[in-house]
A and B are shown apart, each in its own frame.
Chain A
Amino acid sequence: MSDPFSNNEEAVPAKSSSPKLLQFSVLTIMLLTAAVGVWVAQIQTAEQTELMRLEIPNLQKAARELIIVDPNQYTAVQHHMTWNDDFRWRIYLPEGHRYQLAFATEKIDSNNLVEPFDTQVVEPGEYELELQYKREKDDSFRIAVLLDEKVIFEQLHPAGWNDNSGSSGASNISDSVQRDVDAPLEIMRTRFHTRDEKGNSSSAQGPVNGILIWLDTVDE
């Protein structure tokens, strides 16, 4: 028979279990708070990221950036013009082919490609393309095409090449576009107007002076 007055620690389980339960509850609450906090932060971060991600295509369009959805197609975009005759493009040439950049300044009609003044073979990749078009002090013209800031075509024309009667057409690319590589990609077609004997300026039906730049695949 046990002595009711003895100092046996095992006889008082209620007193010892109460603080342990309290300790455990605080720990649980702290862990729960941490778990909720970490998951709320994760969800909020993912939501903010998704909102920005959804807005990016619209911003890319506004900024005139290259948007490559199908990497097997030509992709081209014209940079915003910040000055008159400011023609700059970003172009993407897909893997699997070699390409030819062609340039003509005479006998340009409304639709067809013509015998180029010069051509340049270009490997697949992304490039900056620029047309520089300048009237010199003697009214002659210097036309240059640059690929990644390097002049690849340059042509000089006398004053009569463009008699300042106006022109039709310009860059065929503005927002980012994708085109199949099976057909040539026209970057720019501008045709100078001509004057009749009365001095009236109009767009001629047949081939005229102007600027035509296009891309095509090169047969192996």
Chain B
Amino acid sequence: MFQRIITAILLLAIIVGAIQLFQAKAAHSEVKQEFDRLVAKVGRLEITDPKKFHVIPIETGDPFHFAWRIHTPEGLSIHRRTEFFHGGYSSGTSSVRPASEAIHRARFRFDGDQIMVFVKSGSGSSTKGYGNKTFSKFLQEHVEELIVHSLADDGTMVFDTDQVLTTLKIEIPEHLQAEARLAWKKRDKSKTPLPPLILTQMGTKEAFAAAEEKKK
């Protein structure tokens, strides 16, 4: 009799557990669908040490569009600098802020003979453009061959705050240098390597100063 009661209790526990599991799985599936949708949009940035930079890339589906989700620790004034292929640059420094998270972006657009570059870092942004139809065509034809160094292109990465983060550096490979030089400026016979197509960096002023010192 006692064993029959045990059996009945266990059967009841299994039935109730199975119903609960079914309901939990249904709720899990619904939440996971929403969770996965959002992660696909902005990535999953897991903060393991709030005193460090955390970076994760965001998939854009466009080879000339780069985006990252970046966690900046509290109490830092961040300097941002972008160098463009044609020699121009833009820079800016934020005031000291609480810990923040922002999407940084660098994007190229080709409109007729214009090459336009849009860079957004937190609340600041800049747009540069230069007209060169041949060079614009050259870039679009060789997009797969350009050397792209995108920060954290392999999942979340954590960086100390004494580092200057190079979020994006796009270089023209050696075998295309001559063709690029010709496309850029036909009369340029110089053999010096062409500068990066774009170089975007961020870090504290102190980190930039230390990096400059190291260069010397």
Q: Which residues of A pack against B, CB within 8 Å?
A: 24, 27-28, 31-32, 34-35, 38-39, 41-42, 45-46, 48-49, 52-53, 55-56, 59-60, 62-63, 65, 80-84
Q: Among B6, B28, B69, B101, point to the contact of A49 (Cβ < 8 A).
A: B28
Interface of chain A, main secondary structure: helix
Given A45-B28, A56-B31, A62-B69, CB of A83 within 8 Å of CB of B38: no
Query: Does B51 belong to the interface (CB within 8 Å)?
Result: no
Give the distance to chain A from B202, nearest Cβ to Cβ, in Å.
Answer: 18
A24 to B8, CA, bound (A): 12
Which residues on B are within 8 Å of A, measured CB to CB? Answer: 3, 6-7, 10-11, 13-14, 17-18, 20-21, 24-25, 27-28, 31-32, 34-35, 38-39, 41-42, 44-45, 65, 69, 101, 103, 105, 107, 109, 118, 120, 125, 127
Contact A32 B10, CB 8 Å, known A42-B20, A45-B24, A63-B42 = yes
Chain A positions within 8 Å of B107 at CB level = 82-83
Given pairs A35-B17, A45-B21, A80-B105, 19 additional interface contacts (CB within 8 A): A27-B7, A28-B6, A28-B10, A35-B14, A38-B17, A39-B17, A42-B24, A49-B28, A49-B31, A55-B44, A59-B38, A59-B39, A59-B42, A62-B69, A62-B103, A81-B105, A81-B125, A82-B107, A83-B109
Known A56-B31, A82-B107; contact A63-B38, beta-carbon cutoff 8 A: yes
Tally the A-B contacts, defined by beta carbons under 8 Å: 87
A34-B14, A42-B21, A83-B107 given; A28·B42 CB < 8 A = no
Q: A34-B14, A35-B17, A62-B101 are in contact. Are A52 and B32 (CB under 8 A)?
A: yes
In the complex, the answer to whether B14 meets A56 with C-beta atoms within 8 Å is no
